[in-house]
Structure 1
Amino acid sequence: MAAGEPGEPGDQGGYGFRFLPQKTFASLSSQESTGRLRQWSMLGRIQAQAFGFDQVFRAYRKDDFVMAFFKDPNVIPNLKLLSDSGQWITLGTEVKKIEAVNVPCTQLSMSFFKRLYNEDIVRDNGHIVKCLDSFCDPFQISDELRKVLLLEDSEKYEIFSQPDREEFLFCLFKHLCLGGALCQYEDVINPYLETTKLIYKDLVSVRKHPQTKEIQITSFIFKVTAYDSVGMCYPSRKSHEQTFSYFIVDPIMRHIHVLYHCYGVGDMS
């Protein structure tokens, strides 16, 4: 029986974790990426961290896994989040409850977004089609792209089905398009697509199937919220569509990549 299977004595002790500070994420730290994140008001408010774990990952035990993560003495002093004043801090409270929502991750190609061109949301030259200004609080909608992302009653909303919208690739793209509190939107789509692709490749693990030789995604992804005795404490005390934490679990390498963002005014300098 492999380590960590139900019924083993060691299983009751749960998972052990370790912080991996040497792991860097070029998709968030390269000069080009930081320039874009600054423009989108996300710089200094988005971060990826890596942790390792020591037992076989069981997707059906994800809640136990995530709770063990928040309780681990190697996680508590290292897991970063933003305070209300915009300072990076660690979680100074005891987690009592967690929610870990499965996020599907099946897309292997950026052709997933081709329909934006086919439906005249983006022109062939990459320019995003403009529209009359409207608001979907707190977001200003001034182009067809944001309409498709935000307005359920818009005529082209259904070009992405509900399962499409739940895909991690779509979630990442939408988060970058909507940005932070002082987001300066792009006129062309390429910066959004390129940055989405870079972050996706940086965080998600793939392997070639030994028999079929097909590329397979091996990561499991969860959107994570944690609660203490007062209420929600992670990723923030305040709920917002653009405040999130995704746990991307690689069961083969036994790594977790934590992608975190807290909505607000990003670094402008």
Structure 2
Amino acid sequence: MAGEKWTFEQTFSFNNLPSKKLSFLQDRDVSKLLMKWSMLGRMSAQSYSFDQCFHPYNSEAFTLCFFRDPNVTSSLRKMEAGAWVPLDKPVVSVGVEPVQCTKVSMELFDPIYSCGIVRPSGHVVKCFHDVYSDYDELRQMLQEEDSEHHCVFGKEERGEFLFRLFKHLCVGGELCQYEDTIDAYISTTKQIYKDLISVQKDPETKKIIVVSTVLKVCAYDESGRCYPENQEEEQTFAYLIVDPFKRHATLFSHCYGVGSFTL
């Protein structure tokens, strides 16, 4: 009717997909590495289907519907005091950061092998550090802006989901035992990335392209931040990865701390 304002906010419904098993969570070799890096038992990936068309511009509404959906809240767990516990209060708001995801190969990391971070043998170059006796050029490049190798990767490359995933694994958890060579970091990053990201061939260019949308997310209840954990920490993260064609969403998360010591 004339004079009336109509508003429409798209809603989404979700269903848990317990049968969708990501290979990296079933791989014993990956589990051993995650245990070594103090991330085993603190990393999770849960997949869900949804019922409506997803568009990136609607990411915030999609994420809020996700964290409010009873089929999600009944299966979702957050970390508290080293244990996984259910969300005990309704989510009232969300934080959503779009994450660039365009890479379809590991060529992104080629500069590491030619700039002095890694020796021809694959061994990571060690460096002096006042606090950490086992510090190396790789972690220095990843974490410190004044590193002489920081400029090897620009802001755009560092913003890629593939790079973020690599950095998360290299930095690890609270009691991380770091690798002497780079191979395990590269191979594990590749396996997890392939599990999480969907690709297809562009019909015009015939090139393989990423079709997934990646969102870095967090959720708040009436008391404040509640997911993935109450406290903010760089190594505590949650990414909601959306395949708009299959209508699948995977929540990939990690909570910083001391990992499990059993497989």
CA 1:134 to 1:211, structure 2 compared with 1: closer, same or farther past 3 Å?
same
Aligned equivalent of 1:67: 64
Aligned equivalent of 1:4: none
What is the Cα deviation at residue 78 of structure 1?
A: 0.7
Gaps of 5+ in 1: 1-7
After superposing on structure 2, the runs of 4+ consecutive aligned residues of structure 1 that deviate more than 4 Å are none
Aligned equivalent of 1:131: 127
Q: Which residues in structure 2 correspond to 1:1-269 (within 5 Å)?
A: 12=9, 14-84=11-81, 86-135=82-131, 142-269=135-262
Checking the alignment, whether the CA contact within 8 Å between 1:63 and 1:100 is kept in structure 2 is yes
Inter-partner Cα distance in structure 2 for 1:209 and 1:96:
39
**Secondary structure class of the residue paired with 1:111:** helix
Moved more, 257-266 or 206-215: 206-215
TM-score, normalization: structure 1? Answer: 0.92
Aligned equivalent of 2:3: none
What is the Cα deviation at residue 12 of structure 1?
A: 4.4
Inter-partner Cα distance in structure 2 for 1:235 and 1:67:
14
Checking the alignment, whether the CA contact within 8 Å between 2:126 and 2:134 is kept in structure 1 is no
**Secondary structure class of the residue paired with 1:115:** helix
Moved more, 210-219 or 195-204: 210-219
Moved more, 169-178 or 126-135: 126-135
Inter-partner Cα distance in structure 2 for 1:206 and 1:110:
15
Inter-partner Cα distance in structure 1 for 2:9 and 2:223:
28
Q: Which residue identity is paired with 1:214?
A: K
**Secondary structure class of the residue paired with 1:130:** coil
What is the Cα deviation at residue 80 of structure 1?
A: 2.1
Q: Which residue identity is paired with 2:83?
A: Q
What is the Cα deviation at residue 27 of structure 1?
A: 1.3
**Secondary structure class of the residue paired with 2:127:** strand
What is the Cα deviation at residue 83 of structure 1?
A: 1.6
Aligned equivalent of 1:5: none
Inter-partner Cα distance in structure 1 for 2:169 and 2:48:
24
Q: Which residue identity is paired with 1:72?
A: D
What is the Cα deviation at residue 133 of structure 1?
A: 2.3
What is the Cα deviation at residue 101 of structure 1?
A: 0.1
What is the Cα deviation at residue 140 of structure 1?
A: 7.3
Checking the alignment, whether the CA contact within 8 Å between 1:80 and 1:88 is kept in structure 2 is yes
Inter-partner Cα distance in structure 2 for 1:233 and 1:61:
22
**Secondary structure class of the residue paired with 2:173:** coil
Q: Which residue identity is paired with 1:224?
A: V
What is the Cα deviation at residue 134 of structure 1?
A: 3.7
Gaps of 5+ in 2: 1-5
- The number of residues matched between the two structures is 257
Checking the alignment, whether the CA contact within 8 Å between 1:141 and 1:147 is kept in structure 2 is no
**Secondary structure class of the residue paired with 1:165:** helix
